Amino acid sequence: MIPDAFSKIKSLAHLYLNDNEFDGGIPKSFDSMCNLKTLSLIWANLKGKFLGIIHNLTGCAQHSIKNLYLDSNQITGKLPDLSIFPSLRVLSLFNNHLNGIIPESLGKQSNLETLRLRDNSFEGVISETYFSKLKKLKNLDLSHTPLILNFNSNWVPPFQLERIFLRPCQLGPPQFPKWLQTQKNCYWLDISNSGISDNISHFCWGFSPQLQFLDLSNNQISGHIPKFSLEISNFPFIDLSSNNLEGEIPSFLFKVAHLNLSQNMFSEPIQSLCAIKNEFLIFLDLSNNRLSGELPDCWMHLAGLKILNLKNNHFFGKIPRSMGLLLGIETIDLRNNSFSGEIPSS
């Protein structure tokens, strides 16, 4: 059991009890912890209804708590009205057994900055009403829940998100959500497997220069990726695999650390690869496309490459000597192409 003794430490502000094997829930005595700002019980074997846990924090603690981390426990039940916690900034409940409909009252948490509800069994439709007063929201994670996000096409959010995780929520109409295109500070975006069926030219690539992660895979996105210079400085992870993208691969996409463009319909030669010198590119998967032509002889520009997958394309000609300069390479897959000649000694 979590000992009641913690509640006797009247000045206690931040309590972390992660990675434990407690029995039961949070003691009722915790409601008297008037200075408690952070309560973190991640992987703590908490059990019981979420409403009961909240009930044991509804004394003077409800006015002080700002950060509530209850991830990866065995908490069950529905999400109650949390507006009784006016100072709440972080609500993190992922990987529990919560279910039911998310109450609209969640949209009243005007101080909320981080909302993580992933890996639960919430259901129903989420509208813009749920976010009407969340002006400070920066991190949103609803991934791996069967939720449907259905926002008015002209809705402009009151917040600027930095991290967005919505895999595999259904994002309403199949077009790229317009509200997402208003988020200019976003550096982490995962909307993979979200039912998007649209031309990529309709999506404004207004990403933050601090882009770290972009996953649009497993949708029905079509068209040619626009050619422009994407100003990025962090060598991000980009996954556009399993879509219907076609044409040429723009050179700016090779300015990353991880690039997966497999299972598309790209068809042009990849000579644009030679325009980039990137020793931080570790993973490159262009397999299962319609790429053609001879491989460029500039692989020394990608000195850090470990995984290279070019299988199931229409490449032909000799394997370039510079491929032997990939000294850190662990996997090269060139099968089901039309290469000829000898494997270079390099």
CA–CA–CA angle 67, 70, 74 (5° rounding): 165
Q: What is the chain's pLDDT, residue by residue, as a tens digit (346 residues)?
A: 888 888 889 899 999 999 999 988 898 999 899 999 999 999 999 999 999 989 999 889 999 999 999 999 999 999 999 999 999 999 999 999 999 999 999 988 999 999 999 999 999 999 999 998 999 999 999 999 999 999 988 899 999 999 999 999 998 778 898 899 899 999 999 999 999 999 998 787 667 778 899 999 999 999 999 876 566 778 999 999 999 999 999 988 999 999 999 999 999 999 989 988 999 999 999 999 999 999 999 999 999 999 999 999 999 999 999 999 999 999 999 999 999 999 999 9
Which pTM was predicted? 0.92
DSSP code of residue 305: -
Count other C-beta atoms under 10 Å from residue 279's C-beta: 13
Count other C-beta atoms under 10 Å from residue 323's C-beta: 21
CA–CA–CA angle 176, 179, 181 (5° rounding): 65
In whole angstroms, what is the distance from residue 232 CA to residue 252 CA? 9
Q: Which two tokens stand for residue 201?
A: 């030219």
Q: Which domains does the chain have, with CATH numbers?
A: 197-346 (3.80.10.10)
Q: Which two tokens stand for residue 60?
A: 């003077």
pLDDT score of 205? 67
Beta bridge partners of 115: 91, 140
In whole angstroms, what is the distance from residue 225 CA to residue 242 CA? 15
Q: C-alpha 261: how far from its chain's center?
A: 17
> Which bin fits 95, alpha (ψ -120 to 50), beta or left (φ > 0)?
left
pLDDT score of 203? 80
pLDDT score of 206? 67
pLDDT score of 3? 85
Q: Which two tokens stand for residue 140?
A: 């949103």
Question: 235 phi and psi, to 5 degrees?
Answer: 50, 70
Could you tell me where the DSSP H helices lie in the chain?
50-55, 61-64
Q: Which two tokens stand for residue 14?
A: 């931040």
Q: Which residues, including other chains, have CB under 8 Å from residue 55's CB and lie 6 or more apart? A: none
Are 156 and 131 contacting, i.e. CB atoms less than 8 angstroms apart? no
Helix (H) or strand (E) holding 260: strand 258-260
Using CA atoms, how far residue 37 sits from 20, 44, 65, 86, 334, in Å, is 21, 19, 4, 12, 55
Helix (H) or strand (E) holding 190: strand 188-190
Give the side-chain half-sphere CA count within 13 A for 42.
Answer: 13
pLDDT score of 231? 67
